[in-house]
Amino acid sequence: MNKQAEHFFETAGRWKNEYLLLREIVCGNPSLEEDYKWMHPCYTFEGKNIVLIHGFKEYCAILFPKGALLKDPENILIQQTENVQSARQIRFTHTGEIESLRPVIAAYIREAIDMEKAGKKVEMKQVTDYPVPEEFQKALNEDQALSTAFYSLTPGRQKGYLFFFNQAKQAKTREARIEKYYQHILDGKGIDDE
């Protein structure tokens, strides 16, 4: 057992019983190795992430990093937000829910391992899948330094900016966001970089 994961379970507050039951189910699969990543217990197969156990204020959950590929015949997988492309959760609020889904959880874990063995990957959105807001396109056309800097960013950073700019419903808000992050882009930083 992983010492950091062990500490996580020992010091768990609100969801302790749920976490321990989920751990029991996950550890019932001998192919998985317990690890600790992103401040949560993570279970891996040959070094590849298969399932995590985590909790929030309203629920605890298991998360499948490649959950979008799971068949989900029970229709219980949840996409956390519309922007999450790959991961899916199964959420719980009490041990009874977990216990009733024990065989389903075990089946989903087996399927996730089989997908990993087969080398399946989630098709992620490309930068070209994100529209360039009119206001940002105008700024790129008028400012060569901005254009060069933006297209020199990693695809992930480009997607981050395009997504953020596109979220604004009004042109005025998009323009304000572009202005606010202008120097950030010139400095080669992503939207969340300091």
pLDDT tens digits, 164-181: 998 899 999 999 999 999
**By mean pLDDT, which of 8-12, 60-64, 124-128 is the weakest?**
124-128
Instruction: Please list the residues that pair with 52 across neighbouring strands.
Output: 42, 63
Q: Reduce the DSSP state of residue 76 to 3 states and report it.
A: coil
CA distance 16 to 21: 9
Residue pLDDT, tens place only, 65-109: 999 999 999 999 999 877 677 899 999 999 999 999 999 999 999
Percent with pLDDT over 70 in the chain: 99
Outline which parts of the chain fall under CATH 3.90.1150.200: 3-118
Domain spanning 3-118: which CATH class is it, in words? alpha beta
Let me know if 22 is exposed, middle or buried by CB neighbors in 10 A (0-12, 13-18, 19+).
buried
What pLDDT is attached to residue 26? 97
Mean pLDDT of the chain: 93
pLDDT score of 124 more than 80: no
pLDDT higher than 80, residue 126 = no
pLDDT band at 128 (very low <50, low <70, confident <90, very high): confident
**85 to 63, 79, 120, 137, 185: CA distances (angstroms):** 13, 8, 15, 25, 24
